[in-house]
Structure 1
């Protein structure tokens, strides 16, 4: 066993169960969202939920199942077929915020996770609206 600070963020926040809860709660929000739901062509959100869960688990230092299954993440390319505008960005973050809040993580971990999620959401926006 190493020192506690050698644990990955994935381990620190509770491992797979935490990410399972986060992503499941997020997709419950998406399922009822008139803006975001049409961006998921599958009738069942289960596969999308699994992809995001595996991606986040890998990103934060858990098993690299995502890359083994899917190859390089290439998030922007994967989202390119959809118009992701400010409204979609805001809706995505609203459901993610609810999901993060329900985890009840320690403030430091919550801030680390949220900072990444806001960055990820911003990087997926591909449709700039005219200002004013």
Structure 2
């Protein structure tokens, strides 16, 4: 199911207008992003630590600092995630709780303020 969520998320990123800003900060091919998200989520959800084994500690915010990520990018990514999640994960209180935690994680990636200015220390500032 996790692989299906990741595949669908990146399919949606290519087609949903609300995901355009997020799509624009990704490379032309989303294959690597999909693979890394699958590896991360597998471990985050209690499965094998695929991401940690390959890349070490996730340090997600640090790893995303090279890309300008503001509210529009985050909202687009979360729209894709939630739609992919809802299409592939049976509804339950646990599924809803996990989806809320993803929201928190998504907003943690923000490195642009509301005026679109980079946070201190961002490489694109």
Higher CA-based Rg: 1
Q: In the alignment, does 2:20 pair up with 1:34?
A: yes
Shift of 1:96: 0.9
Q: TM-score, normalising length from structure 1?
A: 0.78
Q: 1:87 aligns with which of 72, 76, 80?
A: 72
Unaligned 5+ runs, structure 2: 116-125
Structure 2 Cα separation of the partners of residues 91 and 82 of structure 1: 15
Give the gaps of 5 or more residues in structure 1.
Answer: 1-17
- Residues in 2 aligned to 1:110 and 1:93: alpha-carbon distance in whole angstroms: 15
Alignment of 1:118 onto 2:103? yes
Instruction: Tell me, in whole angstroms, the C-alpha distance in 2 between the residues paired with 1:116 and 1:122.
Output: 10
TM-score, L = length of structure 2 = 0.83
- How much is the aligned-residue C-alpha RMSD, in angstroms? 1.3
**2:8 is the alignment partner of 1:25:** yes
Q: Which residue of the other structure, out of 16, 22, 35, is the alignment partner of 1:50?
A: 35
Aligned length: 112
- Cα 1:115/1:100, change in 2 over 3 Å: same
Moved over 6 A (4+): none
Residue by residue over 1:71-116, the C-alpha shift from the partner in whole angstroms, topping out at 9 and shown as x without a partner, is 1101011110111111111111111111111024132122122111
* Distance in 2 (alpha carbons) for counterparts of 1:48 and 1:85: 18
